[in-house]
Amino acid sequence: MADVGYVRVSTADQSTALQIKAMQDAGIKKVFSDQGVSGTLASRPALDEALAYVREGDVLVVWKLDRLGRSTKNVLEVLDGLKSRDIGFRSLTEGLDTTGPMGEAMLTVLAAFNQLERDVIVERTKAGLAAARAQGRVGGRPRVMDQKKQATARTLYDSGNHTVAEIATMLGVGTATVYRYLSSSRVSHALNGQVGLGEVL
């Protein structure tokens, strides 16, 4: 069994001295260090090394919980990985120690906060979409053929002087887009009794 430290600073001009001093004061001799590595990155070289180094019964120690990552989700993923390997975790500043009952309780609280964050994001997304629909906007990609282009395409096609390919070139859209519009337009007119179904493109 051994305590293994991990320290990280986000920019190259920051110093890990404070964190390393805290590790030394805690009697931790083996320390892995990431310099100028953001907590938002999926891969942090020294953290990857530390996670590969620790063995069952060891304890990974950090100065603060946020050294593992910027998001609750990311931190929980690392902690879950450690727990599955029977490796403990300790945060010196927060006093979090997963080898004891209070540490387990704290992990439960973190998991609850992570779920709350996800729920809030989902609710905000739903509210945003509802507000957009209320204002006549819908999600998804914008139409390539706006109303003006649709009218122009119909006029050019009905004149009989242009092919679909020529119309597509003039409007700056794909041939398939023009075909789709003309087909849907014909079907719509047929259903409304304006043209016979046999005339549908």
* Sign of the torsion formed by the C-alpha atoms of 58, 100, 65 and 81: positive
Q: Which residues contact 191 (CB under 8 A, 6 or more apart)?
A: none
Examine the residue annotation and report whether 10 is marked as an active-site residue of this protein.
yes
Given 3-state DSSP classes, what are the helix, strand and coil percentages for the chain, each rounded to the nearest 5? 55, 10, 35
Q: Are 180 and 171 in contact (CB under 8 A)?
A: no
H helices of 9-163, in order, are 17-25, 45-53, 72-84, 101-134, 147-159
Q: Are 74 and 45 in contact (CB under 8 A)?
A: no
Q: How many CB atoms lie within 10 A of CB 19?
A: 22
Could you say which of 10, 159, 184, 185 is catalytic?
Answer: 10
Residues tagged active-site? 10
